């Protein structure tokens, strides 16, 4: 009788082990589990062979299951740690959602409502109001036109763009200055519209036959109206942008209550940048494939601690550039895309990874 009970118990135990292992093996092939399975498809059949082999491999199967669970936990921790901005909301703004007009001489994309294109979802972001990605054909451009009460800046990506104040007669401009400047890649031209100013922007390049100029035109809302009109032009080094984000604009020292002397001195909060009349910082970086840059929100120059960051990836590499923000798979940007990063604080670190096949030119616009 006791021998019968022993044999019965042994059979029950073996059946339980086989059932347990069969269930686990089946779970490995469940579609939902394969999505997060840390093993490759090549490894799974090998594990299945171990499980269904001999009694000796049952222990190996159990150990493998334990390792499998541990690996899942490690992956979960790794994914969590890669997202450092848990409190931030990151919303991609796809290139296809931008306004687009092709006037022949001008091919333009609008990230925010502009001219004849209006979208109530895209009317600005903090003090950022306009971001146009323009291509202007040779011997074409924007004739003399006025601006008022906006901070306006052009960031040249390729080609040549000539900025000329309306008071300067063509052919009698003299040497290059803030009022007359032939801009090329790396140059930034800045205008404080204030009480009123007029200028032209033309592609007058006669040395590059038929080459359009490709640039970003960006507008920001100043902290007050009626400012004295002013120009600034500055070049930013290409190689420095390959080392990390290079600040381009930062708030004027003195802020909204800047004195006349501070306005005249035009000293920015971050040395080497162009001063802007807004709680606003602009930066640019060139991130090599598999490279990673970090943007320090506020750049230690912002006044407000609650910040918004807009990231833009210009169309410069024929679609080969791509970046990922904060390690998030739902925040991967292709050329022409942008992203709203909301709910961040000064001092936060925004990670930007280059995951494409070409160097990514990344523009950061940090605003209150």
From first to last of its 368 residues, the chain has per-residue pLDDT tens of 544 444 454 444 444 444 434 433 333 323 332 322 332 333 333 322 232 233 333 333 444 656 655 655 555 444 444 568 999 999 999 999 999 999 999 999 999 999 999 999 999 999 999 999 999 999 999 999 999 999 999 999 999 999 999 877 676 677 888 888 899 999 999 999 999 999 999 999 876 667 999 999 999 999 999 999 999 999 999 999 999 999 999 999 999 999 999 999 999 999 999 999 999 999 999 999 999 999 999 999 999 999 999 999 999 999 999 999 999 999 999 999 999 999 999 999 999 999 999 999 999 999 99
Q: Are 112 and 130 in contact (CB under 8 A)?
A: yes
Question: For residue 143, what is the enclosing H or E element?
Answer: strand 140-147
Is the full-model pTM beyond 0.85? no
**Residues 260, 2: Cα–Cα separation, whole Å:** 104
Tokens coding 15 = 């059946």
**Which has the closest alpha carbon to 299: 271, 277, 262?**
271
**Residues 124, 134: Cα–Cα separation, whole Å:** 18
Q: Are 153 and 218 in contact (CB under 8 A)?
A: yes
């Amino acid at each position: 009788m006791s021998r019968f009970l022993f044999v019965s118990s042994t059979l029950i135990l073996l059946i339980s082990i086989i059932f347990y292992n069969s269930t686990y093996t089946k779970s490995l092939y469940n579609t939902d589990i394969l999505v997060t399975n840390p093993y490759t498809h090549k490894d799974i059949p090998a594990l299945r062979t171990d499980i269904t082999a001999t009694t000796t491999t049952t222990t190996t199967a159990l150990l493998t299951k334990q390792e499998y669970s541990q690996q899942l936990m490690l992956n979960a921790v790794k994914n969590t740690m890669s997202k450092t901005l848990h409190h931030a909301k990151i919303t991609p703004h796809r290139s296809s959602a931008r306004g687009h007009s092709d006037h022949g001489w001008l091919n333009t994309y609008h990230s925010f409502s502009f001219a004849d294109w209006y979208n109530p979802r895209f009317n600005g972001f903090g003090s950022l109001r306009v971001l146009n990605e323009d291509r202007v054909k040779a011997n074409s451009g924007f004739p003399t036109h006025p601006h008022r009460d906006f901070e306006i800046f052009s960031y040249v990506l390729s080609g040549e763009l000539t900025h000329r104040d309306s008071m300067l007669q063509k052919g009698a401009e003299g040497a290059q200055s803030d009022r007359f400047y032939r801009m090329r890649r790396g140059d930034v031209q800045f205008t404080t519209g204030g009480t009123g100013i007029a200028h032209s922007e033309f592609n007058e390049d006669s040395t590059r036959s038929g080459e359009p100029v490709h640039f970003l035109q960006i507008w920001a809302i100043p902290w007050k109206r009626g400012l004295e009109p002013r120009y600034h032009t500055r070049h930013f080094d290409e190689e420095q942008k390959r080392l990390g984000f290079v600040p381009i604009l930062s708030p004027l020292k003195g802020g909204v209550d800047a004195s006349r002397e501070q306005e005249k001195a035009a000293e920015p909060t971050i040395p080497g940048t162009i001063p802007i009349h807004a709680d606003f910082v602009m930066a640019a970086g060139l991130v090599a494939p598999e490279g990673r840059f970090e943007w320090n929100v506020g750049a230690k120059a912002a006044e407000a601690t609650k910040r918004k960051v807009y990231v833009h990836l210009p169309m410069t590499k024929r679609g080969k550039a791509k970046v990922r923000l904060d390690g998030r798979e739902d925040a991967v940007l292709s050329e022409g895309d942008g992203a709203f990063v909301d709910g961040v604080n000064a001092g936060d670190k925004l990670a930007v990874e280059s995951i494409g096949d070409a160097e990514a030119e990344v523009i950061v616009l940090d605003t209150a």
